[in-house]
Amino acid sequence: MSLAEKYPKEVKQILAKYPPEHKRSAVMPLLYMAQREEGYVNKAAMQDIASILDLSETEVASIVGFYTLYHDKKEGKYRMQVCTDLPCALRGADTFLSNLCSNLGVKVGETTPDGLVTIEAVMCLAACDKAPMFQVQSGDGLEYHENMNVDKTLELIEALRKSGQEVKK
């Protein structure tokens, strides 16, 4: 089923934000919508968006490639994106990240063996006063977690794991 068939109302709502002759503007919100289910944008979704907006597939793909919050590959269900930029690093973000990784037994950029969490290092998230901090990106959106430490983070991961299992049940 195409995106337009699956989410007709939402596609309409998104398009309504922009002048009809400039519907290309809707490519970014449509990509977020496409990313909802699997956490990444697959080729079929790119085709769907291209046909909704009268673009070429390549034009849609270019947007996916340029922006870091769009993904073209499947990774963990949750992407834990730790800010290690200068202000956070001055407040221990690098140490936090390496401790977190060794606790999880993964390297930066890797996913936990259960496919639940991918650990990533990212650029400034505008929460420099609340380091260490990270955001969790999933298909459903983004959530900030500030003033974190490794223990609190491991608890969060456990909670995410459980919530996933509950949904499965």
Partner 1 sequence: MANEVTLTIDERQVTVPAGTLVVDAAKKIGIDIPVFCYHPKMEPAGMCRMCLVEIGRPMIDRATNQPVLDENGLPKISWMPKLETACTNRVEPGMVVKTQLTSAKANDGQNATVEFLLTSHPLDCPVCDKGGECPLQNLTMAHGPGKSRFLYDDKIHLAKRLPLGDLIFLDRERCIQCARCVRFQSDVASEPVIGFYNRGRSLEIVSFSDPGFDSVFSGNTSDICPVGALTTADFRFGARPWELDASASICTQCPVGCNVTLNTRREAKADGQIVIKRVMPRQNEQVNETWLCDKGRFAYHYTESEKRLTRPLVRKDDKLSRVSWNTALTRAAEGLTANKKNFVVLASGRLSNEDLYNLKSLADGMGGQALLYSDMGGGELTALVGVSEGTNLGAMGKGDAILVVASDLYEEAPIWWLRVKQAADRGATLIVVNPRETKLDKHASFAIRYAYGDEVKTIDDLNGKGKIAEAFAQAQNAVVLFGSEGLGLEGSSALAAACAKLLSNTNHVGRPNNGLIGVWPRVNDQGAFELGFQPIADLAAELKGKAVYIVAADPTGDDPALAKALNGAKFVVAQDILETATTELADVVLPAQAYTEREGTYTSGERRVQRFYPVVPPRGDARPDFAVTAQLAREMGYILEGTSAFLVFDLLTESVESFRGLDYTKLAEVTEQWPIVGRNDLYYGGTTYENKQGLGAHLSSAAGRGSLTLPSPKGRGAKALRPKEDELLAVPVTKLYDMGVTVVDSELLANRIGEATVALHPSTAEKLGVEAGDEVKLNLNGGQVEVRARIDESISAGVVLVPRSFGLALREPSAVGLKSRAKVKA
Partner 2 sequence: MTHILLRHRDIPDIHKLDVYQRNGGFAAFKKAVTEMKPEDVINVVKASVLRGRGGAGFPTGMKWSFMDRNNWPHYVVANADESEPGTFKDREIMESNPFQFLEGVAIASYAVGANAAYVYLRGEFWQVAHFLDERIAEMEEAGFLGEKLFGKDYSLKIYTHLGAGAYICGEETAMLESLEGNLGQPRIRPPFPPSYGLYGKPTVVNNVETLTNVPMIIANGAEWYKSMGTADSPGNKVFSLSGRIKKPGNYELPLGATFRELIYGQGGGIIDDRPVRAIMAAGASSSMIVADDKALDTPMDYASVRTLGADLGSASVIVIDDTVSLDWVVNKTIHFFKHESCGKCTPCREGNYWMQHLTERIHSGEGTQADVDLLYTVAKQMQGKCLCALGEFATMAVVTGIERFPDDFKSAVRS
Q: Contact between 58 and partner 1 (CB under 8 A)? A: yes
Other beta carbons within 10 Å of 106? 17
Q: How far apart are CA 102 and CA 121, in angstroms?
A: 14
Q: How many residues in the shown chain lie near partner 1 by CB under 8 A?
A: 12
Contact 147, 156 (CB under 8 A): no
Contact range with partner 2 by CB under 8 A, out of 18-26, 98-106, 111-119, 153-161: 18-26
Contact 30, 49 (CB under 8 A): yes
Binding mask 63-92 for partner 1 (x = CB under 8 A): --xx--------------------------
Nearest residue (CB) to partner 2, 49 versus 157: 49
Binding mask 116-135 for partner 2 (x = CB under 8 A): ------xxxxxxxxxx---x
Other beta carbons within 10 Å of 167? 7
CB of 42 to partner 2, least distance (A): 17
119 binds, among partner 2, partner 1, none (CB under 5 to 8 A by kind): none
Q: How far is CA 121 from CA 67, 109, 125, 127, in A?
A: 15, 8, 11, 15
